[in-house]
C-alpha cells in the first residue's frame, strides 16, 4: 500500500463542479462539469443557476472521478473542499457534499481557500513549490500578488486589484466586442491574428506616482473604459472595428502590467520563483511573456497547463493533500462556507 494519502477534492465556488483525486502529488482524476453554457446568454454567471447545476452534477461527477482514478470512495483518506471565497450558494453545495462524504466514510475534512488551491495545483505538474515563492493569481474574481512561505499557512498578500479582476476585464471587453462569454479564451484566440502594438492602451497603476502607493496593486477598469471609448469613436467614424487588433492590444496591456508587477515583486522580495495560477494564467500571451521576461532576470516561472488553471477539483485535492502531508488539523465537521474568505485563511 502506498504511504501517500489519497485525497478527493471538491470545487463549486463558481460555475464549475470539479472533483479531483490525487495521491500525494500525483493526479489520478480531474473531472469537471461546467454550467457555463447556461450563463452565456446573460454575459456572466447567474448564482442561482450555478447552485442548481452543482446540485445536479455533484453525484455523477464524484462517481466519474472515482471511475477515472480507479478507486472506491472507501479508499479515500481525506476529503478537501473549497470553503471560500466564491458564490455563497454555490459554495454551500460543495461544502454540504464534502461533509456528507466525510461523515459517511469516517474521514477527515479540510475546508480550504480557493485562491491557495489555484497555487497548490502547480505541484501536481512541477513538483514541490519552492518556499518562499511569489504567486500571481489571476482569475475572473481575483487578481493578487502573494508571497508564499508555507502553502498551508503562510500566504501573505502583497497587492491586489483595486477595481476589476484581470479575467473580469477580459470578459467585459469581449462583451463590448460582441465576442461572447467567457471572454478570455475568445480574446486569446482573436489576438493571434491581430497586432499587439496597433493601439496604445493604458497600463493601469504604472506611473511613478501610482507606484508609490500601489506598487503591487492592479487596476483594469480604466483600460476597459479606454477600449470602450476607442471602439465607440471608431463606430462613429463609420469605419469597421478591427476586432483582432483591439483584442491583441488590449491583451498586451493586461499581460504587460501583470508580468511587470509580478517580476517586480520577485525582485523586491529577493525571490527567484514565480508561480502563476487562475483562469487568466491559461492565456497564451501571458505564458510566453512571463517566461521570456523572467528568463532575462533569472526568475523561474511555473504555470500549470491551461486545463488546471481554470477552476477544477484537482487543485482542491492538491491543497488538501498538502494539508495531510504537513499534519495540519482538519476542519470541524460544521465548517462554514465563507463567500469572502480572506487569502490569509488557507484552512478553515
Among residue numbers 271 through 310, which ones bind Zn ion (CB under 5 A)? none
Interface stretch with ligand KG4, choices 89-97, 99-107, 278-286, 297-305 (CB under 6 A) = 278-286
Q: Residue 16 interacts with Zn ion (CB under 5 A)?
A: no
> Least distance from C-beta 16 to Zn ion, angstroms?
8
> Least distance from C-beta 183 to ligand KG4, angstroms?
5
Q: Residue 249 interacts with ligand KG4 (CB under 6 A)?
A: no
| Cβ closest to Zn ion, residue 35 vs residue 139 | 139
Among residue numbers 208 through 237, which ones bind ligand KG4 (CB under 6 A)? none
With CB under 5 to 8 Å by kind, the binding choice for 201 among ligand KG4, Zn ion, none is none
Contact 145, 134 (CB under 8 A): yes
| Cβ closest to ligand KG4, residue 278 vs residue 320 | 278
Q: Residue 141 interacts with ligand KG4 (CB under 6 A)?
A: yes
| Cβ closest to Zn ion, residue 139 vs residue 341 | 139
Interface stretch with Zn ion, choices 31-39, 133-141, 242-250, 281-289 (CB under 5 A) = 133-141
CB atoms within 10 A of CB 34: 17
Q: Residue 35 interacts with Zn ion (CB under 5 A)?
A: no
Judged by CB under 5 A, which of 133, 139, 152, 331 binds Zn ion? Answer: 139
Pattern 9-28, binding to ligand KG4, x per CB under 6 A? -----x--------------
Query: Measured between alpha carbons, how far is 220 from 167 in angstroms, rounded to an integer?
Result: 10
Interface stretch with ligand KG4, choices 71-79, 135-143, 156-164, 339-347 (CB under 6 A) = 135-143
> Least distance from C-beta 283 to ligand KG4, angstroms?
3
Contact 168, 161 (CB under 8 A): no
Judged by CB under 6 A, which of 91, 146, 170, 201 binds ligand KG4? Answer: 170
- For β-strands 273-277 and 133-138, DSSP reports them as parallel
CA-to-CA separations, 239 to 61, 195, 214, 235, 249, in angstroms, rounded: 48, 18, 38, 6, 18
Q: Residue 11 interacts with Zn ion (CB under 5 A)?
A: no
Among residue numbers 38 through 77, which ones bind ligand KG4 (CB under 6 A)? none
Interface stretch with Zn ion, choices 28-36, 169-177, 311-319, 322-330 (CB under 5 A) = 311-319
CA-to-CA separations, 78 to 4, 190, 258, 323, 325, in angstroms, rounded: 11, 42, 36, 10, 11
CA–CA–CA angle 234, 240, 242 (5° rounding):
85
Judged by CB under 6 A, which of 35, 139, 144, 219 binds ligand KG4? Answer: 139
| Cβ closest to Zn ion, residue 34 vs residue 269 | 34
Query: Measured between alpha carbons, how far is 319 from 71 in angstroms, rounded to an integer?
Result: 20
Contact 264, 216 (CB under 8 A): yes
Q: Residue 184 interacts with ligand KG4 (CB under 6 A)?
A: yes
CA-to-CA separations, 31 to 6, 8, 94, 108, 140, in angstroms, rounded: 16, 11, 14, 22, 20
Judged by CB under 6 A, which of 185, 204, 304, 330 binds ligand KG4? Answer: 185
Residue that has been written with the C-alpha cell 487596476 in this structure: 219
Q: Residue 183 interacts with ligand KG4 (CB under 6 A)?
A: yes
> Least distance from C-beta 313 to Zn ion, angstroms?
12
Kindly give, in sequence order, each residue whose CB lies less than 8 Å from that of residue 303, ignoring residues fewer than 6 positions away. 122, 275, 276, 277, 281, 287, 290, 309
Judged by CB under 6 A, which of 6, 58, 65, 280 binds ligand KG4? Answer: 280
Judging by beta carbons within 10 Å of its beta carbon (0-12, 13-18, 19+), is residue 309 exposed, middle or buried?
A: buried
Give the helix/strand (H/E) hosting 48.
Answer: helix 47-69
CA atoms within 13 A on the CB side of 281: 30
Q: Which residues bind Zn ion (CB under 5 A)?
A: 139, 311
Amino acid at each position: 500500500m502506498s504511504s501517500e494519502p489519497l485525497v478527493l477534492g471538491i470545487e463549486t465556488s463558481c460555475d464549475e463542479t470539479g472533483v479531483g483525486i490525487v495521491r500525494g502529488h500525483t493526479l489520478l482524476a480531474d473531472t469537471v462539469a461546467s454550467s457555463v453554457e447556461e450563463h452565456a446568454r446573460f454575459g456572466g454567471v447567474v448564482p442561482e443557476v450555478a447552485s442548481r447545476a452543482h446540485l445536479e452534477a455533484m453525484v455523477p461527477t464524484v462517481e466519474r472521478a472515482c471511475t477515472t482514478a480507479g478507486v472506491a470512495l472507501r479508499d479515500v483518506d481525506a476529503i478537501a473542499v473549497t470553503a471560500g471565497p466564491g458564490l455563497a450558494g454555490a459554495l454551500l453545495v460543495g461544502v454540504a457534499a464534502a461533509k456528507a462524504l466525510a461523515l459517511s466514510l469516517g474521514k477527515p475534512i479540510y475546508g480550504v481557500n480557493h485562491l491557495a488551491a489555484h497555487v497548490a495545483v502547480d505541484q501536481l505538474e512541477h513538483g514541490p513549490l519552492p518556499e518562499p515563492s511569489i504567486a500571481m493569481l489571476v482569475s475572473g474574481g481575483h487578481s493578487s500578488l502573494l508571497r508564499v512561505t508555507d502553502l498551508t499557512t503562510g500566504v501573505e498578500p502583497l497587492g491586489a486589484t483595486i477595481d476589476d479582476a484581470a479575467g473580469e476585464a477580459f470578459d467585459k471587453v469581449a462583451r463590448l466586442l460582441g465576442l461572447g462569454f467567457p471572454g478570455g479564451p475568445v480574446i486569446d484566440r482573436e489576438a493571434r491574428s491581430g497586432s499587439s502594438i496597433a493601439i496604445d492602451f493604458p497600463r493601469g497603476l504604472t506611473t511613478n506616482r501610482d507606484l508609490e502607493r500601489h506598487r503591487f496593486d492592479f487596476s483594469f477598469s480604466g483600460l476597459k473604459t479606454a477600449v470602450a471609448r476607442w471602439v465607440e469613436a471608431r463606430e462613429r467614424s463609420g469605419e469597421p472595428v478591427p476586432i483582432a487588433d483591439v483584442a491583441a492590444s488590449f491583451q498586451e496591456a493586461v499581460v504587460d502590467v501583470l508580468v511587470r508587477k509580478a517580476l517586480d515583486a520577485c525582485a523586491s522580495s529577493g525571490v527567484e520563483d514565480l508561480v502563476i495560477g487562475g483562469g487568466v494564467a491559461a492565456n497564451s500571451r501571458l505564458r510566453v511573456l512571463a517566461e521570456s521576461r523572467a528568463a532575462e532576470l533569472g526568475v523561474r516561472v511555473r504555470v500549470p497547463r491551461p486545463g488546471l488553471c481554470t477552476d477544477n477539483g484537482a487543485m482542491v485535492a492538491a491543497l488538501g493533500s498538502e494539508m495531510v502531508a504537513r499534519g495540519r488539523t482538519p476542519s470541524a465537521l460544521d465548517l462554514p462556507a465563507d463567500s469572502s474568505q480572506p487569502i490569509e485563511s488557507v484552512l478553515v
